[in-house]
Amino acid sequence: TNINQIDFKKSLSGEEIAFLIGCSGANSKALREMAGQKAIELRGSKVWFRGLIEFSNVCIKDCFYCGIRKSNTKVPRYNLDDEAIIQAARYAFENRYGSVVLQSGERIDNKFIDRIDQLIKKIKEISDNKIGITLSLGEQTKETYQKWFNSGAHRYLLRIETTSKELYQKLHPVNKLHSFERRLEALKALKEIGYQTGSGVMVGLPSQTISDLANDLLFLKEFDIDMVGMGPYIEHEDTPLAKSSQSAYTQEERLHMTLNMIATLRLMMPDINIAASTALQAIDPMGREKAIKCGANIIMPNITPATERKNYQLYNNKPCIDESADDCLSCLQMRIAFTGRETGLGEWGDSLHFFKKQ
């Protein structure tokens, strides 16, 4: 097959998507160029920032791939106090980041739920309602999602991780807290409430096939998702997954496939927001810039206070853990300029797709 034989005006079939994810050489180059142009055509040349605040690594779950899983006793647990979180949000506001993402391990106790609720209100207050708030706090009940939405959060990131139910079960302990159905229900609830809903997958997991990855992209399209974050799976040495199984793909191959997936998805869903995930940078120092060239339009600079960054290691070699937030901002602006794009500072940069559906 050759990329010229594919009609991009029609819906792509599973086989065509699989071909695009796996393609290399001139085919991959053409795919990525087409996707990079498509992104600019529809959204202009801007790349928007989301200041990422990883405020706690305390988690009740035990996902086999994740370095901060509950059973990893080697990680010192932390939970930033409200003042430190507000301080980070203030930094984002003053530096015109437009939005912040509150991310942490999963917790479902009432104390946590109320705390987040108060934090959302407070961040809105200190930014005169100007900062957009994205949450990435795992699976919660619909009531909880609604409560946070009412307080001012308007986007939510919840990766489905993989749409192969069989693989999902291999990646998680088998119990109610880790069920594929529960995750899917949570995504549906977010959409029903009216969040701009984001999802995504890990690329290159042990026993994951290209056909699984093609199904993942078809799922994102069918689910009519507004935002996507996809990144390579990266081993963490203290996890059961890294100890027990190997990916069929080298890290280079995972990077290559992720970039092809971003490009393919950009052509399938031209008006959604696609993030250049941090995990790309762990494999290739220019990984995120490459993703922007392939059609990504969102970057999530880490604004977590540097003292705690080392304890939010989801995988080996996580980048930027020694930097302060300031280093990250100037370094990113330079990196974005290098890709020939502008930074959308001071704007929310919402998913156009979300508004078209309204």
3, with CB counted inside 10 A (0-12, 13-18, 19+), is middle
Q: Which of 98, 105, 204, 349 binds ligand SF4 (CB under 6 A)?
A: 105
Does residue 275 contact residue 299 with C-beta atoms inside 8 Å?
Answer: yes
Q: Which of 202, 210, 263, 296 binds ligand SAM (CB under 6 A)?
A: 202
Q: Is 230 in the site for ligand SF4 (CB under 6 A)?
A: no
Fill in the per-residue mask, 296 to 335: x = in contact with ligand SAM (CB under 6 A), - = not in contact: ------------------xx--------------------
* CB nearer ligand SF4, residue 106 or residue 238: 106
What's at 252, amino acid-wise? Answer: E
Does residue 62 contact residue 316 with C-beta atoms inside 8 Å?
Answer: no
Does residue 292 contact residue 37 with C-beta atoms inside 8 Å?
Answer: no
Helices and strands in the chain: count of H runs, count of E runs: 15, 10
Q: Which residue has the tokens 């220019």?
A: 286
In the bound complex, what is the minimum distance in angstroms from residue 202's beta carbon to ligand SF4?
A: 10
Q: Which of 18, 47, 63, 120 binds ligand SF4 (CB under 6 A)?
A: 63
Q: Is 204 in the site for ligand SAM (CB under 6 A)?
A: no
Beta strands in 14-98 (DSSP E): 46-56
In the bound complex, what is the minimum distance in angstroms from residue 68's beta carbon to ligand SF4?
A: 5
In the bound complex, what is the minimum distance in angstroms from residue 70's beta carbon to ligand SF4?
A: 7
Q: Which of 20, 68, 119, 242 binds ligand SF4 (CB under 6 A)?
A: 68
Q: Is 238 in the site for ligand SF4 (CB under 6 A)?
A: no
Q: Which residue has the tokens 């990766």?
A: 159
Q: Is 112 in the site for ligand SAM (CB under 6 A)?
A: no
Does residue 206 contact residue 161 with C-beta atoms inside 8 Å?
Answer: no
Q: Which of 42, 79, 96, 106 binds ligand SF4 (CB under 6 A)?
A: 106
Percentage helix, strand, coil, to 5, in the chain?
45, 15, 40
Length, in residues, of the chain: 358
Work out what residue 168 binds among ligand SAM, ligand SF4, none; the CB cut-off runs from 5 to 8 Å by kind: none
Contacts of residue 115, defined as CB under 8 A and 6 or more positions apart, other chains included, come to: 82
Tell me the window of 63-71, 236-244, 270-278, 291-299 that interacts with ligand SF4 (CB under 6 A): 63-71
293, 299, 305, 308: CA torsion to nearest 10: -70
3-state secondary structure of 265: helix
Query: Cα separation of 18 and 261, whole Å?
Result: 9
**What are the two backbone dihedrals, phi and then psi, of residue 197, each rounded to the nearest 5 degrees?**
-105, 130
Q: Which of 236, 290, 293, 341 binds ligand SAM (CB under 6 A)?
A: 236
Q: Is 185 in the site for ligand SAM (CB under 6 A)?
A: no
Binding-site residue total for ligand SAM (CB under 6 A)? Answer: 18
Q: Is 92 in the site for ligand SF4 (CB under 6 A)?
A: no
- How wide is the angle at C-alpha 120 spanned by C-alphas 76 and 357, nearest 5°? 115
In the bound complex, what is the minimum distance in angstroms from residue 282's beta carbon to ligand SAM?
A: 8
Interface contacts to ligand SF4, rule CB under 6 A:
59, 61, 63, 66, 68-69, 105-106, 138
Interface contacts to ligand SAM, rule CB under 6 A:
65-66, 103, 105-106, 136, 138, 158-159, 161, 202, 231, 233-234, 236, 279, 314-315
